[in-house]
Structure 1
């Protein structure tokens, strides 16, 4: 009798593991529905923003989402998420992956899985021209950040006495700098230079050296999904090998754009 009960319990446990394993295969579920839902931040040009003519969300992150989806045999479905809600949207299953200016840090890596780096960003501080000679002169000063940004721990490390003031989005933080509500603003250099270029010489703002840090951005995925993680990384490797990764960069930030940037990185494993 006891043996029979033990056998029954073992059988049920085995069935549970099989069901759990099947449910854990997110890649199969995504392929079954035929679409890859990508969480993107829709207010950060050139990474993801609304095109004024088509009203579609476009940008560097969107193009990577579409390119990865295509290699997986799927249709991309970009979904706009806020910076603060990026990770909850992923972990709660409302998006499949994040292509959302997601910089790697150990705290985030405890919550989600990161793909290989598809963008590497210098994080820099901007201030009014002539106000400061270099980055560390902002010690004790008010510096704008974006809520939930990975720039916050970077700035706390290199200029620990800076008074960080968090804003809901990048435009609000930049406006605070323009209006002298803060003395500095820390952000990805590519985004910062876009804001400065839009205002032109009247902005009277410059990027200070040295950078706060160099940040590796990955596509975010749920933990415990090795098949999806491998498929996404294989797709990124293929985009690098084919030259499409370079083409996407040149389209949005290359020498012929407002940013006039050169790609000094390649798709690579993020080293935590």
Structure 2
């Protein structure tokens, strides 16, 4: 009798667990019922996410991808500004549905969240003073390098220039100013944003970008783990944006030849290479 009773209890527990998992995995249905996709974005990293001085709204490459995905899902995008450090905690605590926030794929992050297909390929580089005599990554092996606290750039610096001392700042402008004021010897960031700072602040004559990259990373949209329906829908949306040319249009608008970056799009939406 005890064996039969235990078996019934175990079966009931399994059924309850299966039902709970099914309910939990229906975030996509919740989003469609609500009619909004809550996107965690940054507002301090132009051109990916920044405040438009005229409208006071958050705009940028990442913001447009968030809006594009929301449109494909048939809902409106609701933007929520986050800091770099808060991105993953805010997602996992359910305060946002998705992250469109310069989120580079790393194996460590992949243990915490799920990644969509890649929608941007980022080259990480270093800027230095023109008169520093620093021309290669090896030249910075014992130097001070500023970067944003919690950014993937710090991981690239540790791997590529193990002897360098990383100096962390809360935001990109502060880390950049540390270089211009010669408090550090180099500043690491994605190439697009590095060049933006140099052009925007008129420091082309005093700063340069070292040609060799620290590394490259694929950026994906971040989602909670164990949400297969939402992940599939987001990937479908991204690939639709690629096939219709919307992804190219967003790139051209923010990073293309007519922008201050004059960059070519050498990538397409594709699954992240593990």
TM-score, normalization by structure 1: 0.96
User: CA–CA distance in 1 between the matches of 2:193 and 2:15?
Assistant: 51
User: CA–CA distance in 1 between the matches of 2:221 and 2:140?
Assistant: 32
2:151 aligned partner: 149
1:91 aligned partner: 92
1:172 aligns with 2:161: no
1:117 aligned partner: 118
SS in 1 for 2:201: helix
Q: Which of 186, 190, 193 in structure 1 is aligned with 2:192? A: 190
1:200 aligned partner: 202
Quote the offset at 1:4 in angstroms. Answer: 5.4
1:20 aligned partner: 21
Moved over 4 A (4+): none
User: CA–CA distance in 2 between the matches of 1:265 and 1:12?
Assistant: 47
1:209 aligns with 2:211: yes
SS in 2 for 1:200: coil
1:182 to 1:19, Cα distance in 2 relative to 1, 3 A: same
2:102 aligned partner: 101
2:36 aligned partner: 35
Aligned residues: 272
Q: Which has the higher mean CA deviation after the structures are superposed, 127-136 or 171-180? A: 127-136
User: CA–CA distance in 2 between the matches of 1:16 and 1:140?
Assistant: 54
2:46 aligned partner: 45
> Is 1:196–1:203's contact at 8 Å kept on the other side of the alignment?
no
SS in 2 for 1:269: coil
2:220 aligned partner: 218
User: CA–CA distance in 2 between the matches of 1:186 and 1:208?
Assistant: 10
Gaps of at least 5 residues in structure 2 are none
Question: What pairs up with 1:253-268 in 2 under 5 angstroms?
Answer: 253-268=255-270
Quote the offset at 1:11 in angstroms. Answer: 3.0
User: CA–CA distance in 2 between the matches of 1:231 and 1:246?
Assistant: 20
SS in 1 for 2:70: helix
User: CA–CA distance in 2 between the matches of 1:259 and 1:202?
Assistant: 13
> Is 1:178–1:203's contact at 8 Å kept on the other side of the alignment?
no
Quote the offset at 1:180 in angstroms. Answer: 0.5
User: CA–CA distance in 1 between the matches of 2:29 and 2:85?
Assistant: 28
2:55 aligned partner: 54
Gaps of at least 5 residues in structure 1 are none
TM-score, normalization by structure 2: 0.95
User: CA–CA distance in 2 between the matches of 1:12 and 1:138?
Assistant: 58
Q: Which of 132, 138, 141 in structure 2 is aligned with 1:139? A: 141
